[in-house]
Structure 1
């Protein structure tokens, strides 16, 4: 489509401010007409998919089932969400992209949206935001217009197109200005789960989103920098650019807890991506039932990467060198494999450094091959069937059972944690005596099922399982809030993408576990992606200036040297610290904020949650738990500080900061937890306190 033929704006001087009025001569009417036509085209595309008849296409029922599932996913992906804009921008190119044209030739016009829409003739009406032709929408600037004459942004209210705003990038006379619609979209109040940011992706975010599948990217981003959204949009982009490959290998998003996953679960479906798995690290390593807990010291030691070598030593201690020959009887003939030959076979398998289970499966075939060599020397002509029969011979089986016995990963870990001598033998030179005593269980355990496994124990079992049998690898894994993973948890995640890549998202200042990440270089090493690229996002789009400035007072104490987030929002929001006598003032602050549009979170130390819940109930104010979806009727969420990470609310009441700090095992962790709690607000924050505020917050 050329700008001249289809766009009357090409001949008009359009001001830079948003337009919201509509007259017969105003371009807004034409844009609304294009929106209506695009929605009709999308409905037609969906109806076409629904009408497909595959009865005469597939050769068998398996292919039919696969094709039917693919069609069903296609139909779901083509759903038109009434409250989600079909397109949010427009690009007017000076020239046709990728085509050399004579001077004076007209360019093309493209509408940029969440998915591709075409008309009955196959001509595009909306271009997917991930397509190369859409990239200038995010990256073009006055300095580098990328052949764009005009970039138009659209404003919506309840799914209706109500405004537009233009930037004439190729006009040197027009000064660059901050987009009002962009600011409004970033700051728009929210109710319900996390939204996509596809209309507001910034250039530095877009570079990360569109980075290639082959490399691992680690994103350090402070509160409000959009790192979670960047990670999710990177998944959507990779699925667009490498769909066939990732359809085979799979993608996975890993979050810190179920509440967080529920909060983000609608982002990818809104972008038309329905096949991405979501899980926590605990879900990945669920080989045993977790019913116990560790103290902080034991958890730190169990999460240390040294335990990987302890487990390896303990596992391979089961391999023994032969002292006797193997005698194989076949008919009237007897074939002997001497002990020294068996030892050579065992040592060769150990030297290959393959998985314990794979080596065990190879051992009978190696012994059988030694027998076949003797048969050939004796003039026989054995084939593969003979070798397989020899490998199944009872004498060979007995030898394998003795030399390379089966090992159950859970039983191996259980023995390490309950057998003092066994642990001491295999932890020698790795863990000192105090560290060994710290992880030993105090009471004997009868069986794997009766054991009270901790979350850290389950990770050890996963490590042992991988030593025995290789874990299946996915094409791409995203891990969010990664700063809270232990080295052993990083290894567990890394096992899921050994042949793929990863996107690691986190903030070192928000690490609140005793084993929190000290540096991203170290984390990438544990992940098995030491060559990963580390990117830093420092522009804050979600947290008000006064709030992030106040919270950043903690940075010198919790993450020295980390670059503070700089808020780029035009709306400063509001921030207030209020002394309180008790819970009445806290409830009053919540009631005050609920008069505003959007969501409100009441964040408090975990120990104070029951009292606050009682006070809210007594005041007749309904509230939700983290992860429950807010509604127009119930917009207040009562959030324990331990679950606040990764969540956002338009308004936040933070109760008793010192109690948040005191609720953690040490001050540094407590201050990091407080930093997280302080930075959950998008539009406004009220801090209430009865006790003195932490001295680190003093101006």
Structure 2
């Protein structure tokens, strides 16, 4: 609801007043930053001038060290002061052109006057009057804006709940320092504001995510009661936005005890990481640790010299394979079993067995001379019973090896010295020869010490291979656990062993191998991580979940996904218990699941069209934003297909689309289509799994890389029955059709996919 002219004039004057005070503060901060920078530079330049270095005796050395420590303390203090001023300056520069986006008027119970609360990306206090001109969107009282309509309302502070009456809710559109529009609304977020925000391009929409938070999204953002929070969100429901807002909220609320280094976000791919990395700074927080699960596995296995398969190569195999083909069916069995909770139990039992026997130790040798044999290590490790965990015992063994190597190095130094003394060409002072001997001994033994420190004296890869090479090991363990091995276990074991002998580690074997490595080496826990967020959580297997719980024992987990888009072979999408089983896998009773059913990304026409592809899937409720219906176009042959697609892309660009994506089924199809379309669309960029940066424009990519991304317009390359017909391809087609904000064009050769028959 629009406001009258007089109120609008008052609001316009307030915007200018707040901006004027912000500009004054910015000028003051610029001076402070310049002063602090000069002070830091001067202290650094004169660091040694202010220190009297004296090493004549022990007391002088202690005095010199104390002087250095004092000077370093002064320098670090000035650096911190400089950083605080610089951060404050950056925050104000970021919001000065749009200082706030909302206002609420709240009258606390028992009070006569109502308080006007203006809400923005960051708080701002008038330095002259100490008046709070703008409240941070993460402040407790700001939750009223997101959670309540007009009427009775309550917000929670660390000390108590505060109740009262919410008398006004107002929203602003301020751009380039000018008040462009203002609305009053009785809803959580006015539909008029949402319509405006959602009609923008993809890049603009991500930059305004705080202004359109819905009540159910705010519940997720501010949840600090549950140790495992599972979010089932329909495509376009704001899962990614919610994840980033949750990070920013937690860093704000627990700013004295929590830093970005205590949080980690697992993204689906590097392209997606780049896409979201620009948003956190806009929310006023430092970028947290981001990685993909593949990058983590690569890091943990880098010392084993294996060729690690990429998850997208695994998916490419699945999507291009033929059902019924023996090699294809064997691979599918391998994936399903090794990503299961049953296989995790096997691995745990194997770890217990290794406490008493079975570890394969590697010799420590220099050239052909063996210094410590594997048999000695085995005797030392298994020589007496121990109740300690494998990792703790390995640490003890490492210390023993290092002591042995210290002695070996000392003996080698003596031998080298005697040899140098006998060599005429090394005639010189005794201290010089001792220094040479020490250096030579160090060069010989240092690599062995590094191995010992890294616990690299157990052949973990051989241990994993033995699980499949032995005809009795896993059958025996499975019988003890009451588990059942796959019916084709002998063939599956041989299939795995052959790949490992060739130095190939398939993706389904990577996490079990990392887990075994952690069990043996005792490096299974990262205690510094307090919050772990997993995006596209439907792509993680039961084994992944259980492993993450063990890896981050102190962490609270936020798992965001859409089980309608579970396209990997191990995904539980659509299965009964896809959510309830997570609490068991994570071994955490304090688990809750929140469903986001409303989709804000696409128009109603596109959302309803895509939902029909999965008639039995998770419910999806479209937002009331209309646009042109999806267009289906049949082409007679590939030449006509490419001409029509090129024309459609150009039409979308002419219509104002900033990002247009041509989506194919697989990487193989993407490569062929790119080669054919490039002459017709010179600006067409090909996106693959190695692409690191996301840029708007015209691009072509496989559907599985489009997950988590959105585009102004989408062109589906070929939705014919020859491409999308098998059950495993239904969710991939759904994923592709849920990427556009405004327009969807579907082309096909031959018959249309049966999944689109109802369209």
**Normalised TM-score (structure 1):** 0.76
Shift in Å at residue 264 of structure 1?
1.2
Task: Confirm or deny: 8 A CA contact 1:318 1:405 kept in the other structure.
Answer: no
Shift in Å at residue 47 of structure 1?
5.3
Matched, 1:602 2:662: yes
SS at match of 2:240: helix
| Aligned counterpart, 2:124 | 117
| Aligned counterpart, 1:325 | none
Structure 1 unaligned blocks of 5 or more: 1-15, 170-174, 322-341, 366-400
Shift in Å at residue 167 of structure 1?
1.9
Q: Which moved more, 1:486-495 or 1:640-649?
A: 486-495
Shift in Å at residue 238 of structure 1?
0.9
Shift in Å at residue 196 of structure 1?
5.2
CA deviations 1:188-237 (Å, max 9, x no partner) are 11348943511100111111111116532100011111112112111111
Task: Confirm or deny: 8 A CA contact 1:77 1:273 kept in the other structure.
Answer: no
| Aligned counterpart, 1:346 | 385
Which residue of 17, 21, 28 corresponds with 2:2?
Answer: 17
CA separation in 2, counterparts of 1:548 and 1:590? 21
| Aligned counterpart, 1:167 | 184
Instruction: Return closer, same or farther for 1:418/1:116 CA change in 2, 3 Å cut-off.
Output: farther
SS at match of 1:610: helix
CA separation in 2, counterparts of 1:51 and 1:92? 39
Instruction: Return closer, same or farther for 1:320/1:117 CA change in 2, 3 Å cut-off.
Output: same
Matched, 1:619 2:637: no
Task: Confirm or deny: 8 A CA contact 1:654 1:687 kept in the other structure.
Answer: yes
Task: Confirm or deny: 8 A CA contact 1:345 1:363 kept in the other structure.
Answer: no
Shift in Å at residue 678 of structure 1?
0.4
CA separation in 2, counterparts of 1:356 and 1:119? 59
Which residue of 136, 144, 153 corresponds with 2:171?
Answer: 153
Matched, 1:307 2:318: no
Shift in Å at residue 579 of structure 1?
1.9
Task: Confirm or deny: 8 A CA contact 2:207 2:279 kept in the other structure.
Answer: yes
Task: Confirm or deny: 8 A CA contact 1:314 1:426 kept in the other structure.
Answer: yes
Q: Which moved more, 1:567-576 or 1:231-240?
A: 567-576
Instruction: Return closer, same or farther for 1:143/1:24 CA change in 2, 3 Å cut-off.
Output: closer
Instruction: Return closer, same or farther for 1:648/1:437 CA change in 2, 3 Å cut-off.
Output: same
- Greater helix proportion: 2
Shift in Å at residue 508 of structure 1?
0.9
CA separation in 1, counterparts of 2:258 and 2:281? 16
CA deviations 1:64-117 (Å, max 9, x no partner) are 55984795487357425669964342324243x6x853x3xx333232111222
Matched, 1:75 2:86: yes
Task: Confirm or deny: 8 A CA contact 1:285 1:459 kept in the other structure.
Answer: yes
Task: Confirm or deny: 8 A CA contact 1:155 1:163 kept in the other structure.
Answer: yes
CA RMSD of the aligned region, Å? 3.8
Q: Which moved more, 1:650-659 or 1:274-283?
A: 650-659
Task: Confirm or deny: 8 A CA contact 2:670 2:700 kept in the other structure.
Answer: yes
Task: Confirm or deny: 8 A CA contact 1:605 1:641 kept in the other structure.
Answer: yes
**Normalised TM-score (structure 2):** 0.71
SS at match of 1:245: coil
| Aligned counterpart, 1:133 | 141
Matched, 1:495 2:547: no
Which residue of 506, 510, 514 corresponds with 1:462?
Answer: 514
Residues matched between the structures, number: 601
SS at match of 2:114: coil
Which residue of 673, 683, 705 corresponds with 1:643?
Answer: 705
Task: Confirm or deny: 8 A CA contact 2:98 2:174 kept in the other structure.
Answer: no
SS at match of 1:75: helix
| Aligned counterpart, 2:326 | none
CA deviations 1:485-536 (Å, max 9, x no partner) are 1112112322343212011001111000000034022233223334310000
CA separation in 2, counterparts of 1:441 and 1:43? 69
CA separation in 1, counterparts of 2:513 and 2:568? 21
Matched, 1:259 2:271: yes
Instruction: Return closer, same or farther for 1:74/1:483 CA change in 2, 3 Å cut-off.
Output: farther
CA deviations 1:262-309 (Å, max 9, x no partner) are 111111111121141001112223322462546333222221222223
Structure 2 unaligned blocks of 5 or more: 48-67, 154-163, 315-330, 358-380, 400-451
CA separation in 2, counterparts of 1:213 and 1:66? 37
Which residue of 15, 19, 39 corresponds with 1:31?
Answer: 15
Which residue of 275, 279, 291 corresponds with 2:307?
Answer: 291
Shift in Å at residue 434 of structure 1?
1.6
Shift in Å at residue 624 of structure 1?
2.8
Task: Confirm or deny: 8 A CA contact 1:604 1:654 kept in the other structure.
Answer: yes
Task: Confirm or deny: 8 A CA contact 2:15 2:179 kept in the other structure.
Answer: no
Q: Which moved more, 1:673-682 or 1:421-430?
A: 421-430
SS at match of 1:529: coil
